[in-house]
Each structure stands twice: as C-alpha cells, then as structure tokens.
Structure 1
Amino acid sequence: MSFQAYLDGAEKKTGHTPQQLLDALGAAGFDAGSKAGDVLAWLAAEHGLGRGHGMALVHVLKNGPVISDKHVGTSGTHRDESTRLRLDGLAHRDG
C-alpha cells in the first residue's frame, strides 16, 4: 500500500481529512517531538485507527507532507505518485 493510500484510508475510516486529523493531534497537544506510541494510542482511542494508518499520520506530524522518492514512479505495491502527500482530502482530487 502506498503512503498516500494509508492517509486516504484514514480519511475513509474516520470521515476526517488527513489535515483535520493532524489539526486534532495538534489541539490535543501532540507535535513533532511526541512519541509515536502516544500518538498511536490517541488515534486509536479517539478515531479507531490502527497502526498502519496511525504511523502514516505520525510520519507527517514529525516530518511534514514530504516523503522519500524511493517508490515514486515505480510499479511496485508501495508506489506513490509524488513525494508530496495530499492532506486536503479525497474530495479535492482530480477525476
């Protein structure tokens, strides 16, 4: 599953865009220095998210919406379209 697919999956599960989930994390006091386990526990308790979806959000919380180009342009299962992750939600996508 691609990195973007994990973020999209979190939106499908919760009804909140990745940005809304990140905003909620910030409002709950989490930031780039927060421990992943604490963030994951909060996401599970508040939004029912599992580890995979949660870790994608942890990555963005800690590193911003940019990922490595390792899988961009490949044909593998983990391929992403871009190094920039979309946080604005599925409704804002083309097509």
Structure 2
Amino acid sequence: MSFQAYIDNIKAKTGKSPEDFKKLAEAKGFMENGALVKTVKATEVTNWLKEEFELGHGHAMAIYATFKGKKS
C-alpha cells in the first residue's frame, strides 16, 4: 500500500487530514510550533491514535511520519 493510500484511508475512516491530526497533537502537547516535542516518543503518538481514532499500527505510523516531516 502506498503512503498516499494510507492517508486516503485514514481520511475516509476519521474524516481528518494529516493537518487536522497535527492540530490535535499540538492540543495534546505532542507538538509545538508544528514540530514534535523532542521528548515525545513514537509509541506515545501511535498509542493515542490507535486508542482515540481506532487506527491500526501502520496507519498510526503514517500519521507519525507526517509529524516528523517525512511525508506531506
């Protein structure tokens, strides 16, 4: 599955884009000024996405990758 397919599936399931998740992550204290807080671990973010949005691990990691700036 391509990265874009992951993002499309997440949008279809949750109604949220990567930008929406970034705003929510800032509200949770995972991000500041558009960047991940250095002390935040990937597991913290992926667990939050799995619990609150019922995303699978791969989909949660795709959102985390957008937080790291690896994909847009």
Structure 1 and Structure 2 fold alike (TM over 0.5): yes
Report the CA distance between 1:41 and its aligned residue: 0.7
Q: Which amino acid aligns with 1:12?
A: A
Report the CA distance between 1:47 and its aligned residue: 0.9
Report the CA distance between 1:57 and its aligned residue: 0.8
What is the TM-score of this pair, normalised by structure 1? 0.62
% same residue: 42
More helix by share: 2
Report the CA distance between 1:43 and its aligned residue: 0.5
Aligned counterpart, 1:82 = none
Report the CA distance between 1:5 and its aligned residue: 1.1
Instruction: Name which one, 1 or 2, has greater alpha-carbon Rg.
Output: 1
Pairing 1:58–2:67 present? no
The CA distance in 2 between the partners of 1:59 and 1:8, in whole Å, is 15
The aligned length equals 66
The CA distance in 2 between the partners of 1:22 and 1:50, in whole Å, is 18
More strand by share: 2
CA-atom RMSD in angstroms: 1.4
Which consecutive segments of 4 or more residues in structure 1 shift more than 6 A? none
Report the CA distance between 1:9 and its aligned residue: 1.1
What is the TM-score of this pair, normalised by structure 2? 0.79
The counterpart of 2:51, out of the listed 25, 42, 45, is 45
